Chain A
Amino acid sequence: MADLWRRGGAGAVRRSTRAWRVRTSAVIMAAVVLAVLLVPPLAQLDEQAVDLSAKLLPPSLAHPFGTDDVGRDLLLRCVYGLRVSLLVGLVAALVATVIGTAVGACAAASGGWVDRVVMRLVDIFASVPHLLLGIFIVAMFQPGVWPVVISVALTHWLSTARIVRAEVLSLRSRPYVDAAVSGGASRWRVTVRHLVPGVLPQAGLAAVLMVPHAIWHESALSFLGLGLPTHQASLGTLVQSARGSLLAGDWWPTLFPGLFIIVPTLAIAGLAGAWRERLNPRRRSELTL
């Protein structure tokens, strides 16, 4: 008798594709992490090995991604570049998260005019385009790894500060915080003991989502010649140094480093999207770059 029921639309399909997306993202991220951790120590290969007889070879079995203009294997260069970019991105995201969490929690815990002034400053900071501010900082401090990390960190803490502040404010209105305050705990103590642990999941999610953004910024700065030195393989410098070959018609030294930015970005976004859905079930997952 079950066939008497006429079906409406399909609702189950989306769930299975979502699970598939999360699983694929997890596999890709695992591969990325293993590659950047294990390839450099295990493969006794020199990514800097110049072989002018093998320059600009198109992708082949021996060189799956081809070789660059001085005959270096691009797959190896890309793995090394990803390693550097990922490291820069992770450190920058970590610093930005610490700054953002501290500022957001302080603003929310202080309340009153401190909160207003701090959040106004955050708004003002947000009025300057990130990349331009990054360029300004790097220009003033000379290009290099640390200026890049600092400039990316200094431009990315704003959203974390806003998220953490909002979260602290919403947590603060819950009964157990009132109970702690009326029990004689100071405002700071409540913030540190009860509220900061409460906002860590949101801050952590923001940090994870920031990593691709930070990689993106590092590569943009490096591409503009304002980031890492050119001999240091990062995804940005790889694209930058491939420009000459590209204008000569060789596409592979440009294409593959870009894919190395896109694929991990999508994988991280896929995982973070699932995480976000668990944290805030009502919001749909969206890639925020």
Chain B
Amino acid sequence: MTPPKHLTSESVSGAPVPDEPVSGAPVPDEPVLSVRDLSVRFRMRGQRYIAAVTGAHFDLAVGQCLALVGESGCGKSVLASALLGLLPGNAETAGSALLDGLDLLTADEATLARTVRGRRVGLVPQSPAAHLTPVRTVRSQLEETVRELTGTRKPAVRQAAEAAAERAAFPADHLDRYPHELSGGLAQRAATALALIGDAPLLLADEPTTGLDRDLVERTVDELKRHTGDHRALLMITHDLAAAERIADQVAVMYAGRIVELSSAEAFFGEPGPRHPYARGLLNALPEREFTPIPGMPPELGALPEGCAFAPRCAYTTSACAHIPPLNASVACHHPVLDAAPAAAAQEATRA
């Protein structure tokens, strides 16, 4: 396993942190979030480690939507937690994640709680109803968040909370309901309303469409896209490629804790298509494409094979795959697929 390259984390953590996020419309090409060699591992009993994320590396510009896709258990939700500073106590991180000049990985808890979460990074969580406190109504939690994030005081709070609900199309007559009384779609909107209150430049949607039916999935991602507009950036973590195709500008494919392909959505979903054999397999597994699953199972993060983690399931494996391929020209593979034809050949090979 290659240790993460020595990078900017020390220099960045020493840099002065701006008190306020840059106000006004940022320059379009300047990345809102810039993730450099981000790694997360969990310390387990007996000096064992689980490498959940290894060397993640990407930029996210304003007005852009990056879809981070992969099967469950590939480490993508851990990446979301790392960006929010919500990792469990036994986690260790390396690398950096710069948001407006602040390294999210080295920021202390007070900074994260007071200036980052909700204010610079808004989270639309997986299973939104479960992320609300069950014994309090949606209104009470909206008002609380409005009070704390915007400093609105008593008489105006009620109206501000209703406006926040309105923005996410949460119906006002459902505000006095408790989280367990909401349907999946409404819980999703409540969570979105809460995430938007702080007007954060980065929206982080962690599996926002889990458990929703197809219509709701499309509506939810469309709304996320609408909220992103041209003044926010959206990092959507999902295993739903169809949802990603609908709104993403860029696609990052994660396998066994590593980003194995990072390309524009146009190229990924259209021509020339994914170039990493895993990404291609993932796309081909969709019902509207070939509907053929990738053979085998993803490896456990605690017991990764030597070399390329996908090699045991890959049709192109050679001796070169005993070494981990670096992410070169947006794909981390020794034998990137060059056109559509080898995909079929690959399947022939695996069946044989």
Query: Is A8 touching B87 in the complex (CB atoms < 8 A)?
Result: yes
> Mostly helix, strand, loop or mixed at chain A's interface?
loop
CB distance from B233 to the nearest CB of A (A): 25
Query: Is B93 touching A5 in the complex (CB atoms < 8 A)?
Result: yes
Given known A1-B3, A11-B43, contact A6–B90 (CB-CB < 8 A): no
Give B83-119 as 1s and 0s: 1 = Cβ < 8 Å from A's Cβ atoms: 0000111111110000000000110000000000000
CB distance from A175 to the nearest CB of B (A): 27
Query: Is A8 touching B90 in the complex (CB atoms < 8 A)?
Result: yes
Q: How far is the CA of A6 from the CA of B106 in the complex (A)?
A: 8
Q: How far is the CA of A1 from the CA of B6 in the complex (A)?
A: 8
Between B9, B41, B88, B92, the greatest number of chain A beta carbons within 10 A of the residue's beta carbon is seen for B92
- Chain A residues, CB < 8 A from B92: 5-8
The answer to the question of B4 belonging to the interface, with a C-beta cut-off of 8 Å to chain A, is yes
Name B1-42 residues within 8 Å CB distance of A: 3-4, 6, 9, 41
Q: How far is the CA of A5 from the CA of B93 in the complex (A)?
A: 5
Query: Is B3 touching A9 in the complex (CB atoms < 8 A)?
Result: no
Interface residues on A, range: under 10
- Chain B residues, CB < 8 A from A4: 3-4, 6, 9, 94
Name B204-260 residues within 8 Å CB distance of A: none
Query: Is B90 touching A11 in the complex (CB atoms < 8 A)?
Result: yes
Chain B residue with minimal CB distance to A5?
B92
- Chain A residues, CB < 8 A from B90: 8-9, 11
- Chain B residues, CB < 8 A from A5: 41, 92-94
Query: Is B41 touching A10 in the complex (CB atoms < 8 A)?
Result: no
Chain A residue with minimal CB distance to B93?
A6
- Chain A residues, CB < 8 A from B105: 6
Query: Is A8 touching B89 in the complex (CB atoms < 8 A)?
Result: yes
- Chain A residues, CB < 8 A from B89: 8-11
Give A4-28 as 1s and 0s: 1 = Cβ < 8 Å from B's Cβ atoms: 1111111100000000000000000
Q: How far is the CA of A5 from the CA of B89 in the complex (A)?
A: 13
- Chain A residues, CB < 8 A from B94: 4-6
Q: How far is the CA of A10 from the CA of B92 in the complex (A)?
A: 11
Q: How far is the CA of A4 from the CA of B106 in the complex (A)?
A: 12
- Chain B residues, CB < 8 A from A9: 88-90
Chain B residue with minimal CB distance to A6?
B93
Chain A residues with a Cβ under 8 A of chain B: 1, 4-11
Chain B residues with a Cβ under 8 A of chain A: 3-4, 6, 9, 41, 43, 87-94, 105-106
Enumerate the 5 nearest inter-chain pairs by beta-carbon distance, A residue then B residue, closest first.
A9-B89, A5-B92, A1-B3, A8-B91, A11-B90
Starting from the known contacts A5-B94, A9-B88, 14 additional A-B residue pairs (CB-CB under 8 Å) come to: A4-B3, A4-B6, A5-B41, A6-B93, A6-B94, A6-B105, A6-B106, A8-B43, A8-B87, A8-B89, A8-B91, A8-B92, A8-B93, A9-B89
